[in-house]
Amino acid sequence: MIALKAITTEQREQYERDGFIVFRGLFSQDEINAVKERLAYYIRQGLRMLKEGQKPEKDTVSFEGALIQLEPLVAQGKYIPDDPLYAARKVWNLFGHDEVLTSFATSPKLLDIVEDLLGTSAIWFFADKALLKPPKIGVEKPWHQDLPYFPFEPKDEPQIHVAAWIALDEATVENGCMQYISGSHRLGNITTAHVDTYGLDHLSADMSKVDTSKAVVVEAKPGDVSFHDGLTLHYSSPNTSDKPRWALVLDFINAERATYVGKGEPNFPRVR
Ligand SMILES: O=C(O)CCC(=O)C(=O)O
């Protein structure tokens, strides 16, 4: 275990016990706005055909290296919002393409916490994904663990992966904030099967092992960051409100303990 850089021993113990921890106000509103502006640029440009009432041919559109996935109702052609901004469910692959996002994702204040939570100074940046729940139509993300999705082994040990979930908007129960099952990372890999939810591939878990009525609901303000372990069960509800819920999720991998088992050469960078 390396010396802690940014968090207290109590915070580290809390994370080891619960499998998640929340840091309030880690980023300023200006830092958050800069990321939101870039996301808005990719979405408005990438989905500009929606302004003419035209749906893209595929559910995922590529624009200047960014990938933009339509919200299921839009993909099914059942709804086209006036502003394309509220047609996207997910925007990803900005790291290395977009300077603002890349520098945000490697902020020393963020990486210092990641180091402390993973317990290593050897860190791979694996993925960025902005998860956007448009008003009224944003779908839920069912309960799942992240690590089984990823091409790394081992898949059944804590502290191989940590996700930084960064609130870009205020996140409430009504617009789909995060919920966690405290301590579920200690159950190991309880992921069972691929299922289709709203046309999206989802890896479901054996939920008979946990009590979802005890889920910890984490409402958040822009700039708050909740970190969770790759095995911690988490969920977000549908957006039933008239407010968007944008979040940016950054995935970091313990380069000391994880082995890449994906196809081809790894194309993700060491950030520490
Ligand atoms: O932001 C969300 O709604 C869900 C986030 C999530 O499932 C994840 O980070 O893996």
How many domains is the chain partitioned into structurally? 1
Contact 233, 210 (CB under 8 A): yes
Distance, in Å, from the CA atom of 160 to the CA atom of 172, rounded to the nearest integer, reads 29
Q: What angle do CA 116, 222, 164 make, to 5 degrees?
A: 30
Residue 272 lies in a domain: no
Q: How confident is the model at residue 1, as a pLDDT?
A: 65
Residue 49 lies in a domain: yes
Residue 247 lies in a domain: yes
Nearest C-alpha neighbor of 110 from the set 250, 253, 12? 250
Q: How confident is the model at residue 199, as a pLDDT?
A: 75
The residue whose CB lies within 8 Å of the most ligand 1 atoms, and thus the one to mutate among 128, 129, 234, is 234
Q: How confident is the model at residue 203, as a pLDDT?
A: 87
Q: What are the average pLDDT values for consecutive 10-residue runs of the chain, which has 272 residues? A: 91 98 98 98 96 91 97 93 95 97 98 98 98 96 95 97 98 98 97 81 90 97 98 98 98 97 92 97
**Backbone phi, psi, residue 53, to 5°:** 75, 15
Query: Ligand 1 centroid to 242 CA: how many Å?
Result: 20
User: What percent of the chain is helix, strand and coil (3-state, nearest 5)?
Assistant: 25, 30, 45
The residue whose CB lies within 8 Å of the most ligand 1 atoms, and thus the one to mutate among 128, 139, 141, is 141
Question: Within 13 Å and on the Cβ side, how many CA atoms surround 62?
Answer: 4
| Kind plus residue range of the DSSP H or E element containing 45 | helix 29-46
Residue 129 CA, closest ligand 1 atom number = 9
Distance, in Å, from the CA atom of 40 to the CA atom of 114, rounded to the nearest integer, reads 27
Query: Ligand 1 centroid to 141 CA: how many Å?
Result: 7
* CATH code of the domain containing 201: 2.60.120.620
Distance, in Å, from the CA atom of 248 to the CA atom of 163, rounded to the nearest integer, reads 10
Residue 72 lies in a domain: yes
Residue 157 lies in a domain: yes
Residue 266 lies in a domain: no
Q: How confident is the model at residue 197, as a pLDDT?
A: 76
89 CB near ligand 1 (under 6 Å): no
Query: Ligand 1 centroid to 83 CA: how many Å?
Result: 23
Residue 23 lies in a domain: yes
Residue 268 lies in a domain: no
> Which residue range(s) make up the domain with 250?
9-256
Nearest C-alpha neighbor of 223 from the set 164, 162, 179, 168? 168
Query: Ligand 1 centroid to 70 CA: how many Å?
Result: 16
231 CB near ligand 1 (under 6 Å): no
Q: How confident is the model at residue 266, as a pLDDT?
A: 87
Bond from prior residue into 154 cis (ω within 30 degrees of 0): yes
Distance in angstroms between the alpha carbons of the first and the last residue of the chain: 16
The residue whose CB lies within 8 Å of the most ligand 1 atoms, and thus the one to mutate among 236, 237, 239, 251, is 236
